[in-house]
Structure 1
Amino acid sequence: MPMSEQSRRDQSTPQLSPVNSAAEASKVSAFLLGVDCFDDQRFTPGEREQLLALPQRSLQDKHILCWYTELQGEVVSAVIFNENEHRSGGYRLEYFGVHRTYRRRRLGQRLIEAMLQYCVAHNGRYIETFTCDLPAYGGARKLFERYGFVLLCHLPDYYYPGEGKLLYMKRI
């Protein structure tokens, strides 16, 4: 019996794995800072620091989660989220990215769905996240809205002059 298209896609979909070693954390950081992850490569100094530190910190801090998928030894998607500092059921999606070659293969959706499942299983009340208002981030905004995130506010000129922050929230 021929394999269905859905079965072929499921078999070729990489597994989502938590970062379990310093080497894996370094690979995730390199991916997130690399040219194939984010279309906008103008990182703020703080973003660069966070993208280097958060995957490593997830190894020691149980409130920071860093997961990734890999194909043929190459990281192709990653997500970093954490329980907020109040530890009262709020979570924050810090970063997620999908390698430009592997977009439109549901990898971003799988990251968001896995994060949502985790937050629900750990009695989460909401997830907050943010993105930039530049056109390059339109795909992220559409993905957030598809999963029920609501735009709360716009902070103009947040990252750089002419580059604002959009704050989203989803109640769970």
Structure 2
Amino acid sequence: MLVTQFQIQRLSTRQEAEEVSAFMLSDRSFDDTRYTPGELKHFRELPVRALAGDCIIWYARNDEHAIIGINVIAENEQQTGGYNWDYLVVHQDYRKVGVAAGFLDQMYRYLADVRARYIVTYTCDLPEYATIQRMFLRNGFTLIGRCPDYYYEGEDRLIYYRKLV
């Protein structure tokens, strides 16, 4: 089932928003499916918010036209060139075939075009998130903070930063 053919597009229609939401809520997206109530709400509402311009969502489709990944960023509330990177999620069957690298390339090109100054992202400190933690570090991010018990008791939020210009 591993196919290296995929296409990345920016979310722009209500139909795409519904498909992205369904992908985020599927059992083949995130490894840790013990979602917080806020995450569930976010997965349902975030794609619609992208249509309103509150964030940018790119999604990848395979040859069968199924969504196999998403990437989400938004300019921070200060609107001074800082960006928040909320999600990079690749379908479990399509990892390690270049989808994440394609999203990173698309994201960094966009951030360069808008002259973004920096990007901040975060993840959980549980072992299920070790892969994304390593990816952040490989891509020039620095761990700048930890918020204890952020998600649930014993699950800290790790905060990463990368200066862009």
When the two structures are superposed, what TM-score results if normalisation uses the length of structure 2?
0.94
SS of equivalent residue, structure 1 residue 148: coil
Provide the rounded CA distance (Å) in 1 between the counterparts of 2:5 and 2:146. 35
Provide the rounded CA distance (Å) in 1 between the counterparts of 2:147 and 2:78. 23
1:95 maps to: 87
Provide the rounded CA distance (Å) in 2 between the counterparts of 1:141 and 1:110. 18
2:55 maps to: 64
Code of the residue aligned with 2:124 in structure 1: it is C
Shift of 1:121: 1.0
Matches within 5 A, 1:11-30: 12-30=4-22
Contact preservation (8 Å) 1:109, 1:143: no
- Once the two structures are superposed, residues 88-130 of structure 1 have per-residue CA deviations (whole angstroms, 9 ceiling, x without a partner) of 0000001110000000112112212211111111010000000
Matches within 5 A, 1:109-128: 109-128=101-120
Contact preservation (8 Å) 1:131, 1:141: yes
* Higher RCO (C-alpha under 8 Å, 6+ residues apart): 2
Provide the rounded CA distance (Å) in 2 between the counterparts of 1:50 and 1:113. 25
Code of the residue aligned with 1:42 in structure 2: it is R
Matches within 5 A, 1:6-85: 12-61=4-53, 63-71=54-62, 72-85=64-77
CA RMSD of superposed structures (Å)? 1.5
When the two structures are superposed, what TM-score results if normalisation uses the length of structure 1?
0.90
Paired residues, what number? 162
Code of the residue aligned with 1:68 in structure 2: it is Y
SS of equivalent residue, structure 2 residue 140: coil
2:139 maps to: 147
Provide the rounded CA distance (Å) in 2 between the counterparts of 1:17 and 1:169. 25
Code of the residue aligned with 2:51 in structure 1: it is L
Which structure 2 residue ranges, 5 or more long, are not aligned? Answer: none
Provide the rounded CA distance (Å) in 2 between the counterparts of 1:79 and 1:145. 18
- Once the two structures are superposed, residues 62-82 of structure 1 have per-residue CA deviations (whole angstroms, 9 ceiling, x without a partner) of x41011011112110101110
Bigger radius of gyration: 1
Which structure 1 residue ranges, 5 or more long, are not aligned? Answer: 1-8
